[in-house]
Amino acid sequence: MSLAFVSSLQDIPTKMTISAPKRAVEGDAFRVRGRLRRADNNRALGDQEIDLYYDGYYIDSKITDKRGRFEFYIVIYEYGVYVLTGRFEG
């Protein structure tokens, strides 16, 4: 499984970290989590929407907490290699 991200906050550079297990059991839920921060001063960006995509298909959105953290629980039902992408449109 590979991870990618897209982020921006108009004129403020941002950075997102995202993590998920390298392997998952089909049909079992697993956690995808991360943080959103300003790239210029490393401050957390709370109350921002993060979208999660699975092989290009939208799964869900979550709002970051005051520390910029977000968390998803997802289930993949078929064996294979997939790409999970977190996206912040800012």
Domains and CATH numbers, the chain: 2-87 (2.60.40)
Residue 4 pLDDT exceeds 70: no
Q: Is the Cβ–Cβ distance between 32 and 72 less than 8 Å? A: yes
pLDDT of residue 9: 54
Residue 1 pLDDT exceeds 80: no
Nearest to 86 by CA among 13, 14, 10, 11: 14
CA angle 29, 35, 39 (to 5 degrees): 155
pLDDT, one tens digit per residue, over 7-47 is 545 678 899 999 999 888 999 999 999 999 999 999 999 99
Share of the chain above pLDDT 70, in %: 89
CA angle 53, 13, 15 (to 5 degrees): 45
**Class of residue 63 by CB neighbours under 10 A (exposed 0-12, middle 13-18, buried 19+):** exposed
